[in-house]
Structure 1
């Protein structure tokens, strides 16, 4: 995959910073299979470029950072098409963010819901506009992230709060996300770009090798999540084939309340 083949993202290198922008603003930057693959490719491309010191992930359009999976792609149709256990390379994207030896920064405007919230959790640092909103929606639509999106979230915000994210599917404004430790800083929207640039400049003044070792050291403490998550994604692939999971997606597309219990065997 080359820079010119990207359809769902844009990629820019400037001043030793690679900026990867989720570029589906008409869909609130919802992720489809191609999006996951392109983000993984771009993160690896930047992460192993010796001239790059920091990677920034952000969303186009201002209304959303990212809002999870694209509802036009049925989960049950994706499974088994060869692109990861779920039919989409979500594990590859998550691994890329974790494994590249550079700090990855989430620059968040608008909604960071579902997969968007998981990406914020995975990023080494996160800086948000005052208009940012965070949360999970998986159980509303018959889905869940049974790896880093749950277990790593618990390490970031605490066990009780992480369970609240998933068990209630509420939305949390930027200041509340800051207080719980999900993000590092909140700034007015018109100051977000400059604030992220400032953090990147500070990072680029430091030893790249020391930062790489520090990132590896931080990751080592939670690396067991990767293995248990891969096992759980196998179970999730089976779940996506059930009537219960399909009911979530069908209800979302029909804009009605799901009846999960009505379709359970």
Structure 2
């Protein structure tokens, strides 16, 4: 299988399907159409034994596109949030093991994509981190919940709140990735993992994967509520300032909000 749709490349290598985010001018950040294309590719992987998600040369994935956040519309941002969540859910519901081949920066939603994948192999030059509070958003679809199960709550909050960057060695040390290899060995290492998976029972690998989704499934309501809260914050001063500062490559200047938060109990996406 080999297809190209909405800046997403899909091709088969032996018995694995490789899905490549192909938007290098934006460091492989995704919009709603790219996220939907990845989800659709993941939904039709019964004919292979494993799946690999990677980025075009230059980055793994910089998360969701920020350009629209400087002049946001409720419709546009709602669609992006929903498409992002659908993509992560598709990783978890794919019947085959999904490996993140992290070939560069995994930031924001890109780091959450690593969290969603079953396994992760990183190039030595890869970096990891969340961006939400720095750019006027929040990482509610993995980093504030499931990542805590993977690497520990305090460490996950450090990533989610402080928006620091971590090199591949640190990511391996805290358990965010399984293995780090030299950059020129990444594809070969991932293919070795794919061949190892190809020798195992696909039926029982699927059972193992479905069973391991217990924490993801338990957090699913939190994802939906988080997306709903992000929708309520569309167009906020913090969203505009964070996006404009990022695009202008300057530090953001967020004002202290001393107003009360109006909780009307309706945070559904």
TM norm structure 1: 0.91
- The residue number in structure 1 matching 2:178 is 184
Aligned to 1:27: 26
1:1-265 counterparts in 2 under 5 A?
6-46=5-45, 49=46, 51-61=47-57, 63-74=58-69, 77-81=72-76, 84=79, 86=80, 88-261=82-255
Tell me, in whole angstroms, the C-alpha distance in 1 between the residues paired with 2:178 and 2:154: 20
What are the Cα deviations for residues 67-103 of structure 1, in whole angstroms up to 9, with x where unaligned?
A: 112222227635324964x555111101100111110
Deviates more, 1:4-13 or 1:19-28: 4-13
SS of residue paired to 1:146: coil
Does the Cα contact within 8 Å between 2:3 and 2:11 map onto a contact in 1? no
**8 Å Cα contact 1:76-1:240 kept in structure 2:** no
CA deviation string 1:50-82 (max 9, x = no partner): x21100000011x21011122222276353249
Structure 1 contact 148–226 (Cα < 8 Å) conserved? no
| TM-score, length of structure 2 as denominator length | 0.90
Secondary structure in 2 matching 1:259: coil
Alpha-carbon separation, structure 1, partners of 2:83 and 2:242: 21
Q: Does the 8 A contact of 2:72 with 2:234 survive in 1?
A: no
Structure-1 separation of matches of 2:71 and 2:82: 11
Cα contact 2:11–2:19 (8 A) shared by 1? yes
Gaps spanning 5+ residues in structure 1: where? Answer: none
Extract unaligned runs of 5+ from structure 2: 260-269
**1:43 Cα deviation after fit:** 1.2
C-alpha distance in structure 2 between counterparts of 1:75 and 1:149, whole Å: 23
